[in-house]
Amino acid sequence: LASELVTGSAPASENFALSRLWSARSVAVVGASDRPGALGRLPIEHLLRYGYRGAIYPVRPDGASVAGLPSYQSVQACPGTPELAMIMVSASRVEAAVDDCIAAGVPTAIVCSSGFAETGPEGAALQGALAEKARAAGLRLVGPNTIGSVGVDLGLVASFSPLFSGERTELVPGGIGFVSQSGALGYGAVSLAFERGLGLGWVVNTGNEADVRALEVMTAMARMPDCEGVLGYLEVLDDVGGLRTLASSGVPVALVKAGRSTAGQRAAASHTGALATEDRVVDAALRQFGIVRADDVDDLLDMGDAFAQPRRPAGPRVAVVTTSGGSGILAADAIEAARLTLAGLGAPTIAALAEIVPAFGATANPVDVTATVMSDPTLFDRALDVIVDDDGVDAVVACFCVLTAGDVDRVVESLARVAERSGKPVLAARTGAAHLAPAAAAAMRAAGIPSYPTPARAVRALAGLWQVSRPHMVDVESDESVVPARRPPVEASEIELKSILRAAGLPVPGGRLARDASDTSRAVAEVGGSAVLKAVVPGLLHKSDVGGVEVGVTVAGAGIAYERVRALGGEVLVEEMVSGGLEVLVGMSPTPLGQVLTVGVGGVLTEAVDDVALRVLPVGRREVEAMIDETRLGRLLAGTRGSTPYDRTALVSAVLDLVGATAEWPSGFELDLNPVTVLPAGQGVRILDAAYVAPKED
């Protein structure tokens, strides 16, 4: 099967080179050794032990045999061109080995050797040179400092991980791909996947990523025709294009992105920059693209189990059926926590359940069929049938405790039947020791019923399944009506910036610079007799902190106010006074995942409330609406007790206009509109303050 797939790929494509990591029909091991325990012997032992269905070419200068196989003095001397080379020589000899691979026409090499970027600047330079050489020659290079890759179907264990030397280790084949930037943790997770019976098809540790990067390997796995899902452990995530491409594959993806705790360490000049910390951006981007962010290795593998069954929920409404009231409550709690919905069962469903469920059970969701139902399989069957047929149910979580061997067959048969018949995913929680029903896990897996040790874990896995199944936005239609804004100069003053925004059709209050005290009086009169005076001082971002803003200035008070603001050393801007609105922050800032849009609670409460939604750009209207609803703005705009609703429509339009207007600006800038005041419905919004920080390279 695997060979057919290999043949099916286009050899010249990018995918071809990457898929060699698991589909190569021949492997050279450069730096092979015959000494037992030597790193250069382990992959050869592993290839032999797991029955690799391809050619193994040990490469060593003396041509001596390795583990009983003949060896070759160079890659070029091998009897055929290896489709994959493992380079296991010391760092100083890696370059020569890469040259050898290039000369031989090898498409893909895994550099296992350490001694590169992980050791310091010198190693990093060596690594950079290596990558450049490989790129120039069209060789795809994995690593250095990697433990290697595995193609399970072919028995291609191109890895020296001690996992594969474990006496009882067996490869468990399946349709899930796994990519890790960490070697040891990655293969630890692989061992846990195999232990729980989660079959993997393709495993790659990308190491230092001199050339080949995790996201592109995940995308290549996702393109394998029998791929059911891809899991990843990442420490660095800085390629929004790669993420978009991966998400576009349509294959379910879950990631652990480690390094949350670096969040907040980023220095930033503006509100927007401070709020769009790296970890929040990762959260937002993954959610935006329909990728599950798992918190831990357990959760990641739990997602793999959910991906490996074929059914997908059409919505978030979950029915819980349980033989124990306690499990039902835990499941309901988890459903709320995971932002799924406890399905409201229809009256006919509840009536039908009342005929089936014992009097001391529960016919409302969670449906408690009680332990007595276990003894009567027809009752359990009938209850499940009724529940799954309710149009208000998108998925079923079935909870059991202390399920013993005698009950398992019946339960599995019932669950499998309703899942198959309804096409709705059915997940099980089995809170009890494995030895009570040793065959249960495998039977459930075989029947396409993922099972978990607790109700909460089953529910979280289902929530992930809904996240990858729900409509999400990878590409955004461009809006033709957008007016592009001129790019601000590096030291753009507030007034320059506002004039640029006004020209692009954005709602900026009326106003102008005042020349002196008496001109200020005239300017106040021009904007209606009540004005805000603002210091315009280059580089002064938070002018209200230093007395640079005077509000409610009347014609009479204009002169004194002018002198006070003028004392800060800059010019004085007179603007129409706008009050009675809700203060919102709208901003854009550069992040490792590109320009990010921030919308949230603004004004003086910005930092204290610290409630913003983020999206990587571009975004469409639906995303902006979702951003508002994700934060307290949703409730605040609707009007808290005793206040009228605010002009949400105008806010959404202004944000979309801003996104369109700045779409062509080179990335790297910060734009901080705070506050944008949202007036009562029908009265629009006004950008009261605006600050801009040019990209660093400007």
What is d(CA 204, CA 679) in angstroms, rounded to the nearest whole number?
54
Q: Which is nearer to a second copy, 63 or 438 (CB)?
A: 438
What is d(CA 221, CA 201) in angstroms, rounded to the nearest whole number?
9
Given a contact cutoff of 8 angstroms between Cβ atoms, the answer to whether 457 and 429 are in contact is yes
Sign of the dihedral defined by the CA atoms of residues 675, 679, 681, 683, in that order: negative
Burial of 579 (0-12, 13-18, 19+ CB in 10 A): exposed
Residue 610: CB minimum distance to a second copy, A: 8
Q: How far is CA 237 from the centre of its chain?
A: 9
Going from the C-alpha of 139 to that of each of 10, 84, 103, the distances in angstroms are 16, 10, 10
Q: Cβ contacts of residue 460 below 8 Å, gap of 6+?
A: 299, 302, 334, 338
Tokens of 297: 């290795």
Q: Which is nearer to a second copy, 370 or 499 (CB)?
A: 370
Q: Compute the C-alpha angle 625/629/631, nearest 5°.
A: 125
Which residue in 588, 582, 546 sits closest to 567, CA to CA?
A: 546
What is d(CA 275, CA 181) in angstroms, rounded to the nearest whole number?
27
What is d(CA 540, CA 538) in angstroms, rounded to the nearest whole number?
6
Q: Which is nearer to a second copy, 186 or 313 (CB)?
A: 186
Q: Which is nearer to a second copy, 320 or 597 (CB)?
A: 320
What is d(CA 658, CA 673) in angstroms, rounded to the nearest whole number?
10
Q: Which is nearer to a second copy, 204 or 656 (CB)?
A: 204
Residue 630: CB minimum distance to a second copy, A: 14
Q: Which is nearer to a second copy, 340 or 426 (CB)?
A: 340
Q: Compute the C-alpha angle 280/281/285, nearest 5°.
A: 120
Q: Cβ contacts of residue 593 below 8 Å, gap of 6+?
A: 237, 238, 239, 240, 243, 281, 282, 285, 616
Q: Which is nearer to a second copy, 323 or 677 (CB)?
A: 323
Tokens of 616: 């990587």
Q: Which is nearer to a second copy, 583 or 657 (CB)?
A: 583
Residue 170: CB minimum distance to a second copy, A: 9
Residue 640: CB minimum distance to a second copy, A: 6
> Would you call 201 helix, strand, or coil by DSSP?
strand
Tokens of 3: 């060979």
Residue 190: CB minimum distance to a second copy, A: 9
Q: Which is nearer to a second copy, 168 or 696 (CB)?
A: 168
Q: Which is nearer to a second copy, 118 or 475 (CB)?
A: 118
Residue 261: CB minimum distance to a second copy, A: 4
Residue 148: CB minimum distance to a second copy, A: 13
Residue 317: CB minimum distance to a second copy, A: 15
Q: Which is nearer to a second copy, 155 or 183 (CB)?
A: 183
**In 3-state terms, the chain is what percent helix, strand and coil (to 5)?**
40, 20, 40
Q: Cβ contacts of residue 168 below 8 Å, gap of 6+?
A: none
Q: Which is nearer to a second copy, 194 or 665 (CB)?
A: 194
Residue 43: CB minimum distance to a second copy, A: 16
Sign of the dihedral defined by the CA atoms of residues 679, 681, 682, 684, in that order: positive
Q: Which is nearer to a second copy, 182 or 219 (CB)?
A: 182
Residue 435: CB minimum distance to a second copy, A: 4
Q: How far is CA 227 from the centre of its chain?
A: 19
> Would you call 426 helix, strand, or coil by DSSP?
strand
Residue 347: CB minimum distance to a second copy, A: 21
Residue 431: CB minimum distance to a second copy, A: 4
Strand ranges, E, within 163-267: 173-180, 200-205, 229-234, 253-257
Residue 167: CB minimum distance to a second copy, A: 8
Q: Which is nearer to a second copy, 235 or 491 (CB)?
A: 235
Given a contact cutoff of 8 angstroms between Cβ atoms, the answer to whether 293 and 257 are in contact is yes
Q: Which is nearer to a second copy, 323 or 589 (CB)?
A: 323
Residue 18: CB minimum distance to a second copy, A: 22
Cis peptide before 144, with omega less than 30 degrees from 0? yes
Which residue in 508, 504, 475, 575 sits closest to 535, CA to CA?
A: 575
Q: Which residue reads 């605040």 in tokens?
A: 636
Going from the C-alpha of 304 to that of each of 14, 157, 185, 454, 564, the distances in angstroms are 26, 21, 17, 16, 64
Residue 638: CB minimum distance to a second copy, A: 10
| Amino acid letter for position 477 | E
Residue 450: CB minimum distance to a second copy, A: 17
Q: Please name the helix (run of DSSP H) or strand (run of DSSP E) that holds residue 534, with its range, or none.
A: strand 530-536
Q: Which is nearer to a second copy, 13 or 90 (CB)?
A: 90
Strand ranges, E, within 15-151: 26-30, 55-59, 84-87, 108-111, 140-142, 148-151
